[in-house]
Chains A and B, each alone.
Chain A
Amino acid sequence: MNKCLKSATLLASALTLASCGVFNADDEHVGGAFEKLVKKEQEWSDTIQVVDNLGIKDSYAERLYSHKGENFDFKATGSINDIFVGARIECGEDGGKLYIFCGNRHSNGVWFEEPEIVFKDLEGRKMTNEDGYTIRMLDSMVVNKKTYKNVLEFDASDAKKNECSYDKFYIAATKGLLRIDLKDTITIERKR
Chain B
Amino acid sequence: MRTNLPFSIFAGIAFSISALCLTACEGTTTDNCDKTYKPKYKLADCQKKVGNFKKGKTTHYVHSEGFEFDLKVVKDTTTIEHWQDFCVIAEEEDREVLLTSDYPIMSVYVSFLGGTEKDSTGVTLGHSKPMTISYDGTSYAVELDSTGSPMEAGIKDDIVLLDTITFNGVTYDSVFKIMDYSHFDALNYQDESFAKGELAHLYFSKTKGILRLETNEGKSFTIKEGGDNE
Contacts and interface: CB of A to CB of B under 8 A. Distances in A.
A147 B30 CA distance: 65
B106 A81 contact: yes
Interface in A152-192: 165, 182-183, 186
B107 interface: yes
A56 B137 CA distance: 21
A68 to B, nearest CB: 27
Contacts of B11: 1, 3-4
A80 interface: yes
B229 to A, nearest CB: 20
Contact of B4 (A3, A109, A165, A182): A3
A81 B4 contact: no
A81 B154 CA distance: 35
B124 interface: no
Contacts of A81: 104-106
Given A56-B67, A80-B63, A7 B104 contact: no
A66 B147 CA distance: 56
Contacts of B1: 6-7, 10
Given A7-B1, A8-B8, A107-B109, A80 B65 contact: yes
Contacts of A182: 103
Contacts of B138: 109
B7 A4 contact: yes
For chain B, what secondary structure do more than half of its interface residues adopt (helix, strand, loop), or is it mixed? mixed
A4 B12 contact: yes
Contacts of A57: 65
A107 B140 CA distance: 12
Contact of A107 (B8, B66, B111): B111
B149 interface: no
B219 interface: yes
B65 A82 contact: no
Which of B4, B104, B136 counts the most chain A CB atoms within 10 A? B104
Nearest to A110: B137
Contacts of B7: 3-4, 7
Which of A105, A182, A186 counts the most chain B CB atoms within 10 A? A105
Contact of A82 (B105, B111, B134, B217): B105
A183 B103 contact: yes
A54 interface: yes
Nearest to A83: B105
Interface in B167-194: none
A58 interface: yes
B134 A107 contact: yes
A144 interface: no
Which of A10, A57, A107 counts the most chain B CB atoms within 10 A? A107
A140 interface: no
A45 interface: no
Contacts of A10: 1
Interface in B112-154: 134, 136-139
Contacts of B106: 80-82
A3 B8 CA distance: 7
Contacts of A80: 63, 65, 104, 106, 219
B107 A105 contact: yes
Interface in B198-230: 217, 219
Q: Shortest 7 CB-CB distances between A and B: which pairs?
A: A109-B137, A107-B109, A4-B11, A7-B8, A82-B105, A3-B4, A81-B104
Interface of A: 1, 3-4, 6-8, 10, 54-58, 78-83, 105, 107-109, 165, 182-183, 186
14 contacts: A3-B4, A6-B1, A10-B1, A56-B67, A78-B105, A79-B217, A80-B104, A81-B105, A82-B107, A83-B105, A107-B96, A109-B138, A109-B139, A183-B103
